Structure 1
Amino acid sequence: MTTWMPMAPAPDRVPAGAAVGGDGVVVGAGPVTVDAYIDFQCPYCKRFEEVAGPTLDRLVADQLINIDYHPMSFLDRLSTNHYSSRAASSSGCAADGGRFREYARALFAVQPPEGGPGLTDEELIERGRSVGLTDPGFARCVLGGAYLGWAAYVTFAAGRRGVGATPTVMVDGVPVPADPRAVAAAVAAVLEEA
């Protein structure tokens, strides 16, 4: 029996550095792919960034991995101003400016609590300035919601892959705990098999 599932409309545009399927932003060029499904309003994602960030940075710097970040927007319901969608969209603008990773860290550093308003667009722009995104094009991109359609597509594509929570981490397509040691061990195992 075949089950019909609607397809998410392809986004009008995807950010610079987008993954082949258009549903994430790739950082690094190593042979092992680490997929990180995140939501900028998710406190567990913030914790994952704080704890695993240095390990991921080292693996990228050593050219062992590429990280495909999938900024999702499913926590919009826990914000009064669709913060997850707007933050994910603004991260696409940051990717266009070559500063996705720095911007993601800056957003997690000032993460708003669930259940209230998220950062305003002006505050999202200020976070960008704090990491060197001073080109007026970044502000226009954020204010125009240039990647809102992309954020919805990323979230839909993640759901189709069975991702139902953030952070969800996969190493070469295999789910692993969102823990730096688990990620590093999985990467080492893949490299050993190669």
Structure 2
Amino acid sequence: MSEKNREGKRTARERLAVEREKQKTAEKRRRGLIVGASVVCVLGLATVIGVVAANSGKDGGSDSAGPVVPPSGAVGEDGTAIQVGKESAGATLTVWEDFRCPACKAFEQAYGPTIEELTGSGQLKVDYHLVTLIDNGMGGAGSGNAANAAACAQDAGKFAAYHKVLFDNQPMESDDAFAADDRLIDLAGKVDGLVTPAFRSCVEDGKHDSWVAKSHEAFQKGGFTGTPTVLFDGENIYKDRSMTPEKLKRMVQEANKG
């Protein structure tokens, strides 16, 4: 083989090695972006702690100065949770979430069908705590107003259905679309029988605004690191990288055996 041919093959191999290295780097970057997107509401907390501290007592679109009016059937310490499922369920999931949080939407879309199945079968009850992390960090009122509207849906016995609609129709994190009462009421039209004069008035008057502020205050006092925070019988499972809907289902089934 001539020296020229050997040089050409060596150059080709080097180009191939460089191209493979580029592909590996691109794949690592792609995975990093996926992971980063999934925890955006957690990482964002570090930059908003100062804002939250500086605005203690001010809570996005929630008016903490008014009387605290819990939604119907509120449970938990200080009545700051909305429970879905049967009280007799053998396992409890506690979820702290923000309707503007993309990571919360990702969790609900991935685990929602399993949670619905388990609550429907009486094996699991879920305590939802609604917070306003994005309002405090980015400004706006969408987290608080959506949480108030969800509490209004709870009054009508339709929290779970409206909860799903809000996450299915979540705007971009930087878009404060949920601040508009008309938008929240329009979305309520996707839930049969939810839009009534009572619901409309509850949303427009901010009936549960102070309750939402109280719920967010409980989130801060709990020392949680971001949203969503998901606790299974008190243990944080959202940080478990091996967690899957199927694994959660097995954990719930095991808890119900006892």
* Contact 2:93 2:125 survives alignment (8 Å): yes
Structure 2 spans left out of the alignment, 5+ residues: 1-55, 58-63
- Partner SS state of residue 189, structure 2: helix
Equivalent residue, structure 2, for 1:124: 184
Equivalent pairs: percent with the same residue? 32
Equivalent residue, structure 2, for 1:187: 252
Q: How many residues align?
A: 188
Superposed displacement of residue 173, structure 1: 1.1
Structure 1 spans left out of the alignment, 5+ residues: 1-5
Please list the CA deviations of residues 134-175 of structure 1 after superposition, one character each: whole Å capped at 9, or x if unmatched: 211000000001111111111111222222211111111111
Bigger relative CO (Cα 8 Å, ≥ 6 apart): 1
Equivalent residue, structure 2, for 1:27: 84
Equivalent residue, structure 2, for 1:108: 167
**TM-score computed with the length of structure 1 as normaliser:** 0.88
What value does the CA root-mean-square deviation take over the aligned residues? 2.3
**2:80 partner letter:** D
- Runs of 4+ aligned structure 1 residues displaced above 6 Å come to 6-10
Equivalent residue, structure 2, for 1:87: 146
* Contact 2:150 2:159 survives alignment (8 Å): yes
From the two aligned structures, give the one with the greater helix fraction. 2
Supply the distance in 2 between the matched residues of 1:115 and 1:13 (Cα, whole angstroms). 29
- Partner SS state of residue 14, structure 1: coil
Equivalent residue, structure 2, for 1:3: none
Alignment match of 1:14 (pick from 66, 70, 83): 70
1:26/1:118 CA distance change after superposition, 3 Å = same
Superposed displacement of residue 191, structure 1: 3.0
**TM-score computed with the length of structure 2 as normaliser:** 0.67
* Contact 2:69 2:211 survives alignment (8 Å): yes
2:216 paired with 1:155: yes
Supply the distance in 1 between the matched residues of 2:65 and 2:163 (Cα, whole angstroms). 25
Superposed displacement of residue 47, structure 1: 1.1
* Contact 2:90 2:255 survives alignment (8 Å): no
Superposed displacement of residue 10, structure 1: 10
Supply the distance in 1 between the matched residues of 2:117 and 2:82 (Cα, whole angstroms). 18
Please list the CA deviations of residues 79-103 of structure 1 after superposition, one character each: whole Å capped at 9, or x if unmatched: 5531001111111000001111111
Supply the distance in 1 between the matched residues of 2:175 and 2:138 (Cα, whole angstroms). 5
Alignment match of 2:128 (pick from 61, 69, 84): 69
The structure with the largest alpha-carbon Rg is 2
